[in-house]
Amino acid sequence: MSIRVGAGFARSVREFFTYLGPTLIVSMAYMDPGNYGTAIQAGSTFGYTLVWSVWAASAFAMILQYMSGKLGIASNQSLPEMVRGSLRKRRYVIPYWLSAELAAAATDLAEYLGTVIALNILFNVPLLYAAIFGAFDVILLLALTARRFRLLEYLFMLFISVISFGFLYEVIVVKPSLGAILTNSLPLTGTQLNALSILTVVGIIGATVMPHALFVHSSLTKTRAEAKSIIEKRQLMKMHRNEVIVILSIAALVNVAILVVSAAVLYPASQQCLAFNPASSICSIVTVNQAVNIMAPLFGALSATVFAITLLFSGIASSATGTLAGQAIMEGLLGRRINVNLRRLVTRVVNVFPTTVAILIGLDPLALLVYSQVLLSLLIPLPMVPLVIYTSRKKVMGEFVNRNATIVVAGLVATLIIALNIYLVYTSV
């Protein structure tokens, strides 16, 4: 019996790694530089008290990504293709496509900035040159893996491993309070919500649930399901569920690690700053550069270097995810294939231009993130609403249609996210 159980477990693990890929690529949207920014801000301003919001945002993302991947397997179509079929007329499709492209470009801007900042920290490259060098990261990565998509998935395994083990090292070195982490993993146990903390929570959710990730997941899983029988699709659905749970749980742990490391390192510094400047709002504003500068003397240069390396890998990998999402959006909504290299080049030019201009006029590139996050808040309903609708239709999903409980939960999650993002836009404008 034990031999049989052991063999069954080994087979399940082997099947899991054989399938592994779609959620692996999508998960980088949940460990991108935008998450670094919001988690650092939360930890430095509120300490451990907003840990629960990272768990909540990750749970929301897990539900929605599972549904997106399920749509691709059940229908053999991606979410953009489904939307094109529903809108039908070109005068409706084009505005939707342009809005979806805007969301992909705004997302990629944050990821590209992460690469630029990491190059600046690691190699002391001036921001202007880093902006130019950083423009070639995804172009080279995707060009090298163009003929073997599985090789790209292996590289994503490497990226996620580096980021995960990097933050495991940071947690070991920094030694955050385990008691505080556990206590504040439950909502509202450590702080009374006020305008600033609510805004921070909304920022964490906004940086976690991303439009492009919902678009691209269905595109990645549909390639796994092509020419598959219903029995094979049932097996794929099981592996998809397992992949979402495992990989997005790792992403959640990384995001929590960023916040708790920030809480342990930066929160005491911000409180000390407030002790000398009670009326100052500068004390709670901590950038990635400042976080690295504070970490180095306290925990050694290696801890600061590891942090910057994880940011670099995060920027490169999440940019690749964004580029793949842009391709899926264009091909799905317009119904035509495009030159992949041209798509990568256009995506990078779109993001290099505003960043370079900001640097030349002396504006902090991170200021661009504020506007990109507000833009994403406006555009999140584009994929989320049709995703919930399609996966709840038996005509589309067949036996894989959402159960009533899933429909209720997904509807509540979508409503809450939209309401929070409306609040973010209202308070940011």
pLDDT-derived band at 242, boundaries 50, 70, 90:
very high
Residue 429, pLDDT score: 60
Rounded mean pLDDT of 211-228?
A: 92
What total number of domains does the chain contain?
1
Residue 132, pLDDT score: 78
Among the listed residues 170, 179, 371, 321, the one whose alpha carbon sits nearest the alpha carbon of residue 259 = 170
Higher-confidence residue of 101 and 170: namely: 170
Residue 77, pLDDT score: 95
Residue 91, pLDDT score: 86
pLDDT-derived band at 391, boundaries 50, 70, 90:
very high
Among the listed residues 197, 247, 236, the one whose alpha carbon sits nearest the alpha carbon of residue 74 = 236
pLDDT at 13 over 60: yes
Say if residue 129 is exposed, middle or buried (CB neighbours under 10 Å; 0-12, 13-18, 19+): middle
Rounded mean pLDDT of 19-25?
A: 92
Higher-confidence residue of 13 and 282: namely: 13
Residue 284, pLDDT score: 57
Among the listed residues 383, 350, 361, 421, the one whose alpha carbon sits nearest the alpha carbon of residue 109 = 350
Which alpha helices (DSSP H) does 76-194 contain, by range? 79-87, 90-123, 127-133, 137-144, 149-174, 178-183
pLDDT at 281 over 60: no
Higher-confidence residue of 133 and 340: namely: 133
Whether 1 is in a domain gets the answer no
Whether 4 is in a domain gets the answer no
CATH of the domain at 74: 1.20.1740.10
Cβ contacts of 399-406, under 8 Å, gap ≥ 24: 399/230, 400/70, 400/73, 400/74, 400/233, 400/237, 401/74, 402/67, 406/67
Whether 288 is in a domain gets the answer yes
Query: Of 20-29, 246-255, 295-304, 418-427, where does mean pLDDT reach its minimum?
Result: 418-427
pLDDT-derived band at 1, boundaries 50, 70, 90:
very low
Q: Kindly list the distances between the CA atom of residue 118 and the CA atoms of 24, 232, 314, 322, 356, in Å, as whole numbers in the listed order.
A: 22, 43, 10, 18, 16
Rounded mean pLDDT of 103-129?
A: 83
Residue 421, pLDDT score: 76
N- to C-terminal Cα separation, the chain: 64
pLDDT-derived band at 124, boundaries 50, 70, 90:
confident
Residue percentage of the chain with pLDDT more than 90:
41
Residue 368, pLDDT score: 62
Residue percentage of the chain with pLDDT more than 70:
83
Whether 110 is in a domain gets the answer yes
DSSP-derived secondary structure for 341-410: HHHHHHHHHHHHHHHHHHHHTT--TTHHHHHHHHHHHHHTHHHHHHHHHHHT-HHHHGGGPPPHHHHHHH
Whether 3 is in a domain gets the answer no
pLDDT digits (tens, 9 = 90+) for 309-368: 999 999 889 888 888 888 899 899 988 777 666 766 776 666 666 667 766 676 655 556
Q: Kindly list the distances between the CA atom of residue 320 and the CA atoms of 163, 246, 407, in Å, as whole numbers in the listed order.
A: 16, 21, 31
Global confidence as pTM: 0.90
Whether 10 is in a domain gets the answer no
Domain span holding position 144 = 19-428
Residue 351, pLDDT score: 63
The span from the CA of 278 to the CA of 191, in Å, is 19
Whether 222 is in a domain gets the answer yes
The type of residue at 429 is: V
Higher-confidence residue of 161 and 137: namely: 161
Angle of the 137-144 helix axis to the 149-174 helix axis, nearest 10: 130
Rank 56-60, 111-115, 196-200, 377-381 by mean pLDDT and report only the highest.
56-60
Rank 103-112, 159-168, 293-302, 321-330 by mean pLDDT and report only the highest.
159-168
